[in-house]
Amino acid sequence: MNLENTKTKKILEAKRISFSYGDKEILKNISFSLHRDEIIGIAGESGSGKTTLLKLLAGLLSPQKGEMLFHGERMMDPKEKLIKGEEQIKLVNQDFDLMPYISVDQNILRNSLSQSDSARKRILGEYHRKLALGNIKNQKAKKTSGGQMQRVAMATALSTKPEILLLDEPFSNLDYSLKNGIIEMLQSDWKPKGMILVAHEPNDILQLSDRIFIMEKGKIIQKGKPQEVYQNPKNQYAALTLGPINSIKPSEAFELGIEVNDSKKKTIFLRPNQIKIQKKEGLCAKVIGSRFNGAYYLLDCYIEKWNKVLIVQAEKNPGTEVIINLGRK
């Protein structure tokens, strides 16, 4: 998505919001905008404030400081409303928010009663097929498994055609094929006008998001396009949040072929795929470990000169002597 063309199409804004539980500060001065047709991915360790932020954006909690705008209008404080939440903003979280004593189909349609019979039939058919819910459609929600509840919660939220969908770990209980079914739905006619996704799996964040936010201790410490944040992390924490990383000194980086122009830079971060195994010209290393990751292998390469192990994306047997650099022939 080209954000340059959508700067006037902000559909959700957080302006300097802060939130605390008692004396414990959870969110600190958070500001950002969600644009139309944009997906924002939020990553960070447990306890960094991700779930609380989604609840605030959904209108379920009240910020102690700052304000939130929906289409440029201030969102009402939940304390000012009879029923908490925003009608056009739906949150799917780990609580699922299902009615336990009604059926799966009744849960899916409980917020879609104003639609025609044919529209509701089409909704159910779509979710039965893409989310594999047909065989449990008449079961009470309380008798379904965690993964099934997660899919029902997703279908319930999407059935109302919300403008904004907030997803908190939406794939945590799903197998690969079901996860792909949900991703397909989110990228098809069921796609809302904007989404914010929280996930611990780096691949989910990287492949779905137009922008990524890294959260640490209640703050957004880095934001940008997935490629930018992945290849140029701000610090070790941001780097590790999105996958394996190598941390080296500027002097070591020079030996690998990197010119460091910033004298204040104390650490250089390199992803495993940025380091190459070559026939000549580079540093001598020994493969001391190999891990299969499906599409590729990750090698632990010990550099005796540095007394350090680097992670390299390549396929070699343990015990092999190799030469590594950044792709110089």
Q: What is the pLDDT of residues 79-94, one digit of tens each?
A: 888 788 888 999 998 8
Question: Of 7 and 138, which is predicted with more confidence?
Answer: 138
Among 7-16, 35-44, 196-205, 246-255, which is the least confidently predicted range? 7-16
Three-state SS string over 132-169 comes to CCHHHCCCEHHHCCHHHHHHHHHHHHHCCCCCEEEEEC
Q: What is the mean pLDDT of residues 284-288?
A: 96
The answer on pLDDT for 188 being more than 80 is no
Position 7 pLDDT exceeds 70: no
266-283 pLDDT tens trace? 899 999 999 999 888 889
14 pLDDT band, cuts 50/70/90, is: very high
CATH T-level fold of 246-325: OB fold (Dihydrolipoamide Acetyltransferase, E2P) (2.40.50)
Query: What pTM did the predictor assign?
Result: 0.89
What are the residue ranges of CATH 3.40.50.300 in the chain? 3-241
pLDDT in tens, 221-241: 999 999 999 999 999 999 999
Question: Which string of b and e fits 283-315 if b means at least 16 CB within 10 Å?
Answer: bebbbeebeeeeeebbbbbebeeeeebbbbbbe
As a CATH number, domain 3-241 is 3.40.50.300
- Cβ proximity of 91 and 55 under 8 Å: yes
Band of the pLDDT at 8, cuts 50, 70, 90? low
Query: What are the start and end residues of each CATH 2.40.50.140 domain in the chain?
Result: 246-325
> Per-residue DSSP letters for 265-288?
---EEE-GGGSEEESSSSEEEEEE
